[in-house]
Amino acid sequence: MSFTSIVKTEVSKIIALKQENLAELSAIVHNNEKTLEYIRIYTENSSVARKVYTLFKDLYNEIPKITVRKGYNYNKNLIYILEITNNVSDILKSLGIMQNNEISPIPESFIIDDIDTLRAYLRGTFLSSGSVNDPKKSRYHLEFLFDNELYSQFIVDKLNEFFLNCKYIKRDSKYMVYIKEAEKIGDFLRIINASNAVMYYEDIRIYRDHKNMTNRLNNMEQANVDKMVNAASKQVKDIEVIKEFGGLDLLDDKAKVVAEYRIKYPEVSLQELSEIISYETNSPISKSGINHRIKKIQLLAEKLKAADIKK
């Protein structure tokens, strides 16, 4: 079972007040097939089908006709079709979908006149046209597909009332409303009261974030090690140049000590080198002092190489 199906199964079992049920059913009907003669709801989720059946029965005392057929997609999932043919106009009006005998592009304002009915409406929108990636298997992504641009903008506006940074784009003949940020997707799951899905999603998100942070730190540490090794290697080469041209006696006493210890400990950092020299010579020297003498060594090596080229 996909993560989308798990979320839909969970939220389809939520028990709500009548006005919230009206808002949820309004979204479901709006995103399915409807005319003045009939309403048809299509879903691959049996729990969603039961939810729609119960809503029509409890709210309107109407029993939908149910048809089950095999889908045309690659995995041949069953598709549940629920059809209402009685009192269609009255139902559409009460759901805020029809006004002046015409289907409205967006629902009437009375359907979502407070925060609870808005959350219920968004829950119904997800049940009818939403999908969300499993955070364990792929990138973070939640989307809705709609036929109408005006309705897409309406849903974007409603989602962004919760600061979800939602956007939409045209994709083929449809419009995709989407959320990409992991935290925002988790927030949406909270909004529709998908409690179990939220806990699963947040556990995976935290694990992935921790893993990514660990990888970044490891990469940073490795980069620092590589940088230190390359620098130490160059310092050793500079010292070898000085030895080749006249020996370490060309250096002053303090720089000579640093050169001797760098040759002796070619793999350590400057901080570690300062600690070793301070301990073994009983003469404290800081990292900056080491760096100052390394620069003297580098400068002398460059002068010796330049003088050799001129010969």
* Burial track 136-164 (b if 16+ CB lie within 10 A, e otherwise): eeeebebbbbbeeeebbebbbebbeebeb
What CATH fold (topology level) applies to the domain 3-193? Endonuclease I-creI (3.10.28)
Which pLDDT value is given to residue 20?
Answer: 96
Q: What angle do CA 303, 305, 309 make, to 5 degrees?
A: 115
**pLDDT at residue 296, rounded to an integer:** 84
The span from the CA of 29 to the CA of 124, in Å, is: 9
Of 279, 276, 274, 275, the C-alpha closest to 289 is 274
Question: How far apart, in whole angstroms, are the C-alpha atoms of residue 34 and residue 24?
Answer: 16
Q: Region 96-114: what's the mean pLDDT?
A: 91
Structure tokens at 170: 């045209």
Please report where in the chains the tokens 């709801």 appear, as a residue. Answer: 41
Rounded mean pLDDT of 262-267? 83
Mind listing the pLDDT tens digit for each residue in 111-164?
A: 999 999 999 999 999 999 999 998 887 688 999 999 999 999 999 999 999 999
Q: What confidence category does residue 259 fall into, taking pLDDT thresholds of 50, 70 and 90?
A: confident
Task: Map out the domains of the chain as residue ranges.
Answer: 3-193, 216-310
Calpha distance 37→59 (Å, rounded) = 19
- Among 6, 21, 28, 23, CA closest to 125: 28
How sure is the predictor about 74, in pLDDT bands with cuts at 50, 70 and 90?
low
Q: What is the pLDDT of residue 308?
A: 66
**What would the mean pLDDT of 175-186 be, rounded to a whole number?**
93
Quote the pLDDT of residue 191: 96
